[in-house]
Structure 1
Amino acid sequence: MSTWSGGRTLGTVAILFSFLLVGCAARLGSEALTPVAASAGGKTMQIYVATTRERDLSQNAFTANLANALNFARFSVSVPPNHKSGKIEMPTATPDPERDFAVVDRAALSEPEFRQAVTHQTNTQRKKHKVFVFVHGFNNTFQESLFRITQLQADMKIDGIPILFAWPSQGRVGAYEIDKQSANYSRDYLMALLTMLSSNSEVSDIMVVAHSMGAMLTVEALRQLRTEGKDRVIARLSRVVLAAPDINARTFRTNVQAIGPLKPPLLVLVSKDDGALRASSFLDGCIARAGDIDVDNPIVREAALKEKVQVVDISRLAKHDDLGHDRFVSVAVLYSRSHEKTLRYRNTAGTFIFTDDDTFLRPIDIGNRVAQ
């Protein structure tokens, strides 16, 4: 079977046009990374960064150019007192910590300093801890991805150290092919980061959440780790989530087969009305994407069961952008409320629907049970 899409039709050119309009909107500049005084009522998050972006020494920031080695940093980001779950209170040229996400401190780190930081030893005892790695998607600037992982950490309330893996997206819709090349270039560096974390005896769990084109990068990294026989690294991953994966659906199943079953299963968040992925399909020769497959399609259900993958339809959740490409943020908002209820399906492959009612995760087809 060459595709999980079952012959899904392409969206209209109007969707692509709206995608382009979104890309032309005013964007947050690197000035938003200039530290300001923290708000007394806000909450400050420590975000660690591993990036293939070139470091801008003059501004202690990162460019859209490729680096020839991983660069590391730490950012302290303040979440405003009036923060609403699921939203990034985006700053203007001069961030106001009372109303906006704002950087209140930042520091360049060497690799040894980064390793020490994620070891996270307490003063009284050595305690294992979790790590949350976020891989951003296409058309994201560094500052946008930094504020996104801060928002996810704030809303999901993950008890672990957040690490942003930032690859050099150009932050322009017209740079789709350049971004794809930059994501592919960053594969070995993501492998290196995961290998580093998995070899740290103080790290208990490694959760990876990858969005859009970042999911393509993550799948390629996992496939290469498996090809190189680095099974121990993959075994240390406590959960891998692909949110709206911008991956060619014709090759997605092949990659999943090469990686093999994960425990718990690979979690794929999909939405059949994701306008950005339809535009991506258009840009990629009208080939359907893995992130907009239809869970009602028998081919998808069969493939999810056979390959031992969790495919979850999140199209019933609230949108956080005009095209529905950031719906995964709604899952993050519900995570702390739904975590206990969804644990029963943690190791269950098949197709599901995620809702915002009391059921949260409803199985459609999990092999021995088909929901009505």
Structure 2
Amino acid sequence: MTGPFHPRSPRAGALGCLVAVSILSGCAARPGPQVLEPIPASVEGARTVTVHVATTREREAPDGSQFTSRRAAATNYATYDISIPPVHRPGAIEWPDAEPSAATSFVTIRRAMLDRPAFEQGVAGAADRRRPRRIGVFVHGFNTSFQEALYRLAQMAADADLGGVPVLFAWPSVARVTGYLEDKEAATYSRDALAALLAGLARDGMAEEVVLVAHSMGGWLAVEALRQLRLTGRDDLLARLSVVLAAPDIDVDVFRAQMQVIGRLPTPLVLLVSSDDRALGVSSFLTGDRQRLGAIGIVARAVQDAAVKANVQVIDISSLEASDRMNHDRYLSLVALYPRLAAAGDGKAGGLRRAGAFVFNAVGAALSSPFELAGRAIAGD
């Protein structure tokens, strides 16, 4: 990316960092791998979402169906059927308790470990049953366990009702608040595997479009994979990609350098940002007070001009509700709104088309087409 992309945003101090970490550490107990144990489920009104998985996590045992936070020597593959309860609220994951029930919670009803040919065959078969043939790849962020990433994608697929095939790329996060540096190294370890996954999904016209959605540190991993694809001459794949980075945990200068290699994508790359994202404030502190891309302010003319020049769409989603106290997951509210936004845009999936800097109008909650603002636009091409 040429041109400035430096925002106006408050710096995170040591006190703010400690407060934020203490808030995160005080969260409720997290779901364990037992939620991945299949149970019989046949409940009226429940929906089933099939998630295909590619992961750089190591299997618990060579023939096992659980994944650890250790790094695998080669990509592993699996598929999971997740039942969504009739009482599901958009944006939420109803986690099972000690007695899982498909009537009240998400439950795993089937799982299978796969090799690469079986994985690609399963994704291709699922894509062939959809019109348009679209594959959605989700890359999770920092401090995320495998089961959290899996159920999150199932929730988003159920809420957005995109009609595409959900694919999870799960990298080996250690799922600890204090594991920031370990996670960054694990994400770096996984970038070639993500690039290979995207290349595989594009082979033989498996899908007409691949939508890549990445959150937090997963955004850095995703952009590194795009850079790798450009360097290896995969312009054909980049031309079919739609990319959404939600609260990306990327140094602004690093992003600009990455985009200088990647260049302009045919479909504008979308950034979902919030200047009051506390988790990115912590990241800024941990990285030497370096500005994070997902917390940029968009009012500055330099940001607007750089977005248009680089064919990037920057959307400030600060008006949306966050479910965490760090204001780091507002993108989930946008996902929950997708059916209404798609209806307003005649169901078109290609609404991420306009470069510039925008503010999302949460009150109107209306887009002329998916993700294309009909609210207050600050700038555009």
TM-score range, shorter chain: over 0.9
TM-aligned CA distance change 1:126 to 1:304, over 3 Å: closer
Match of 1:199 among 197, 203, 207: 203
The list of structure 1 runs, each at least 4 consecutive aligned residues, that deviate by more than 6 angstroms after superposition, is 125-128
Match of 2:294 among 276, 288, 291: 291
Letter in 2 for 1:233: L
TM-aligned CA distance change 1:121 to 1:185, over 3 Å: closer
Match status 1:244 vs 2:247: yes
Letter in 2 for 1:21: I
Match of 2:175 among 160, 171, 195: 171
**Identity of counterpart residues, as a percentage?**
42
Match status 1:308 vs 2:303: no
Shift of 1:4: 2.6
Match status 1:354 vs 2:356: no
Counterpart of 2:208 in 1: which secondary structure? strand
**C-alpha separation in 2, matches of 1:264 and 1:337:** 22
Match of 1:270 among 261, 268, 273: 273
Corresponding residue pairs, total:
365
Moved more, 4-13 or 251-260: 4-13
1:69-114 C-alpha deviation (Å, 9 max, x unpaired): 1100010101111000111112234422211111111110111110
Contact 1:32/1:94, CA 8 A, preserved across alignment:
no
Letter in 2 for 1:215: G
Aligned residue in 2 for 1:81: 86
Match status 1:4 vs 2:9: no
Moved more, 346-355 or 28-37: 346-355
Alignment of 1:50-61 (within 5 A): 50-57=54-61, 59-61=64-66
**C-alpha separation in 2, matches of 1:61 and 1:165:** 15
Contact 2:9/2:275, CA 8 A, preserved across alignment:
no
Contact 1:121/1:127, CA 8 A, preserved across alignment:
no
Aligned residue in 2 for 1:66: 71
Letter in 1 for 2:16: A
Shift of 1:166: 0.2
**C-alpha separation in 1, matches of 2:312 and 2:264:** 7
Aligned residue in 1 for 2:116: 111
Alignment of 1:130-145 (within 5 A): 130-145=134-149
Shift of 1:345: 5.7
Aligned residue in 1 for 2:103: 98
Aligned residue in 1 for 2:184: 180
Contact 1:16/1:276, CA 8 A, preserved across alignment:
no
Shift of 1:228: 1.6
Contact 1:127/1:202, CA 8 A, preserved across alignment:
no
TM-aligned CA distance change 1:303 to 1:46, over 3 Å: same
**C-alpha separation in 2, matches of 1:126 and 1:137:** 28
Aligned residue in 2 for 1:22: 24
**C-alpha separation in 2, matches of 1:122 and 1:139:** 31
TM-aligned CA distance change 1:256 to 1:231, over 3 Å: same
Counterpart of 1:199 in 2: which secondary structure? helix
Moved more, 175-184 or 19-28: 19-28
Aligned residue in 1 for 2:370: none
Shift of 1:202: 3.4
Aligned residue in 1 for 2:335: 332
Aligned residue in 1 for 2:213: 209
Contact 2:9/2:295, CA 8 A, preserved across alignment:
no
Q: Which runs of 5+ in 1 are unaligned?
A: 368-372
1:310-330 C-alpha deviation (Å, 9 max, x unpaired): 000000011121111000001
Shift of 1:341: 4.4
CA RMSD of superposed structures (Å): 2.1
Aligned residue in 2 for 1:370: none
**C-alpha separation in 2, matches of 1:317 and 1:176:** 26
Q: Which runs of 5+ in 2 are unaligned?
A: 368-372
Structure-1-length-normalised TM-score: 0.92
TM-aligned CA distance change 1:246 to 1:2, over 3 Å: farther
Contact 1:309/1:350, CA 8 A, preserved across alignment:
yes
**C-alpha separation in 1, matches of 2:249 and 2:163:** 28
TM-aligned CA distance change 1:305 to 1:95, over 3 Å: same
Shift of 1:8: 2.7
Contact 1:314/1:353, CA 8 A, preserved across alignment:
yes
